[in-house]
Every structure is written in structure tokens, then in C-alpha cells.
Amino acid sequence: MRTRTFVSLIVLALSGGCTPRGDTQPGERFDAGALFARYTPRLTHVFKVRNTLDRPVRILGEQHSCSCTKVNLAKVELQPGEATNLEMSVDIIDGYSKSSLQCQVQTDHPKFKEWTYQLAFATYPRATVAPNRVLLREAVESQSDEKSSTRPAEIAGETWLETFAPAGRDLPAPDTLESPDGLLINLDRNPVRDVLPDAVQRARYHLRISVPARASISASGGQSRAFKVRLSQGAIAGATVVWTNHTGVECHPSRVHFGYLSSASPPKSTRLVVRSDDGSPFRVLGFESTDPMVALAGTFPNKPAAEHWLELSLRPKSETSTSVRSGSVRLKTDRKPVSSIEVPWSVFFSGKVLEGRAIDRSQDHHSD
């Protein structure tokens, strides 16, 4: 029995690549498994490029699939059975990905000109919010009089804070939440724990995000806010929260960008169209500006209309400041319960800051 076992091991060793076969293309695939940048900032693997063919082969060079990969390979001639080293290395990211980096070793063999070597691995973040873009249920304001309203008490959505760690390591735990004013985030600190197929530990914390409806309709159109979660081990995760407000009154465009201007540029203007979404007439009563150099001027319409046209104009001023300026204009209306619309603006210019004036032309397009 012992003699048979010894002979079997010798045959197996000879079949493992020491004997040239001549009919099989050389190559290899190595899977490094799950990696974390915290513990493995750079992955390096050395392949044995062995000539398993029945004739000498010259290594001419290599081509690899990703510029992120560093490759070292000597241009040598390999006799049957001889081998040389192929070193592949790559930086590991602190995020989730599945990668298979490929290196084609180029040879002068008439049949097997390219030998393929693959380095596979998966990377994991220490923490992430998934999904990292949270869409809240729309805030809708629709009323026929001042006493009736279908506006909900809040708009809300949910997502998950996920933390990961290799087997035998501690999972990061959430510490503090950083969120802008008006964004309410409830973090359930009792996680759901599991182990992924590649032996990675995971903990999932439920996040419920909401915005009070009364606060959410302070501006119409698309809204966006970002928040962060700071965790132990120095980990940080974050997400963006988006929603759309339908307040009954809309401004088009909802954001104004004047482009590039210089101190010598003539005044530049853009048209604002303010309308009700259901065709109901309303008045534009006035405005407030976050920047005294930008303002709406002119006579506001004294008669209700379903649509009003305004013109916002910028012209250079003598003093010098930064090359980028932004602000907003808040239009006041008699629309209930929404009494104002905020219109952000921005401009790039060189040399001199800009001041604004607006001309109201709503009377040109509405009859008595």
C-alpha cells in the first residue's frame, strides 16, 4: 500500500507542469479573494510563466488590461520546462469592486503567441451608504382654497449604512451624524449582521430620512442635501438626499447662470417666467435679495395672472472682487400657502463685480 501511494504522488507531481505537453496554451488565473485597503493597501502577486510546450519560446513583451496595474516581466528565452517571474501589482481602493486584471504575455511561438495571466480580487469599503442617492417621496401642495390641502405631514425615504470587515477583525461602528438643517435622520443603532460568501463580515444599520413638509416647500423644484456618518476606525460614509417640491407656483428657469462676463461686458439679461401649475391667477408682490448687487426692478403687475414674465439683468460695476459670484432672489407672491419662490443665480467674470436690475414685462403679455 505504501509503495502505491508513493508512485501516485510522483506521477501527480510530473503531471503538474514539469513535463512539457506541447498541446496546451500556458497561462494561469489567481484569485486573491476579498481585500481591504486598510489592511492591504497594495496587492502584489508573482506568477510563474513556465514553458510547458515542446520547443524553446522567447518572451517578446506583455500587454495588460488596466493602466492601474504595474507589471514586471523579463524578456528571456525559455527552454521547455523553464520558467520566469511575472509580477503584477495594483493599489487597492477603499470601496466595493470586483476586478479581474489581465496580462497577455507575448511570445514567438507559432501557435500560442499570447499566454494569458489573470489576477482576480474583490475590494470592500469599511463603510458605505447603500443606496447613496436617496429619493424622498415628493411633497405635493394642491388646494382649491386656503382651508383645504393635500400636503402630507412629511416626505420620507430610507437607506442603509453598511460596514464591512474581514474575518477576525472588528467592524466599524457609527459614531456621529452630520446633516444639514431641516434634514431629519433616524439611525437605528441595532444592526443586522451577516457573513458574505467570501467570509467578509457585514453589519447593516437602517436609516430613515425625512423632511417636514412645511419646511420642504420653502423652494420649488428639485432639492438636494448631503449628509455624512462618522464611524470608529476613522471611517466616513455619506449620501445625497433628493426630492422634488411641487408648490403650486413654478419659476422657469429654476436656476439662472449668466455665463462668463468681464468688466467691459454690456449688461446681460435672462427671462424668468413665473406661473401657477394649475392655471390659477396670482400676483407677484415683490422680492428679497441675498446680495444687494442683484435685484429685480420695475413695476410689478397689479393684476392677477396665471403667468408673469420678468427679466433679470446684470451689468458691470466699478469695484473688483472674486471671479465667481452667486446668490439668490426670492420672489414674493400672494399664492397661499406658498408665498415665495427662491431663484438661485451665479456668474463667472473677471475684473469687476456685477450688479443687477430687473424689468417686469408681464403687462406686455397679459390683457386686463
In whole angstroms, give the CA distance from residue 311 to residue 316. 17
Q: What are phi and psi of 364, to 5 degrees?
A: -75, -15
- For 170, residues 6+ apart whose C-beta sits below 8 A from its C-beta are 232, 233
- The CATH topology of domain 249-364 is Immunoglobulin-like (2.60.40)
Domain 127-246 maps to which CATH number in 2.60.40, 2.60.120, 1.10.8, 3.30.420? 2.60.40
- State the pairing for strand pair 201-212/154-165: antiparallel
Question: From its phi and psi, is residue 6 left (phi > 0), alpha (psi between -120 and 50) or beta?
Answer: alpha
In angstroms, the CA 227 to CA 11 distance is 62
Other residues' Cβ atoms within 10 Å of the Cβ of residue 115: 25
Residue indicated by cell numbers 397679459: 366
Q: Per-block average pLDDT, block size 10, for the chain (368 residues)?
A: 35 40 85 96 96 94 92 94 96 94 95 96 96 78 44 79 96 94 91 95 96 59 86 95 76 83 74 82 82 68 83 66 74 75 79 48 43
Nearest Cα neighbor of 235 from 180, 139, 170, 181 is 170
**Which pLDDT value is given to residue 164?**
97
Question: 232, 172 in Cβ contact below 8 A?
Answer: yes
What CATH number does domain 20-124 carry, 2.60.40.10, 2.60.40.1930, 3.30.365.10, 1.10.10.10? Answer: 2.60.40.10
CA distance 183 to 211: 5
Q: Which three cell numbers stand for residue 331?
A: 420672489
- Residue range(s) in the chain whose domain bears CATH number 2.60.40.10: 20-124, 249-364
Distance linking the first and last C-alpha atoms of the chain: 111
Question: Is the Cβ–Cβ distance between 210 and 154 less than 8 Å?
Answer: yes
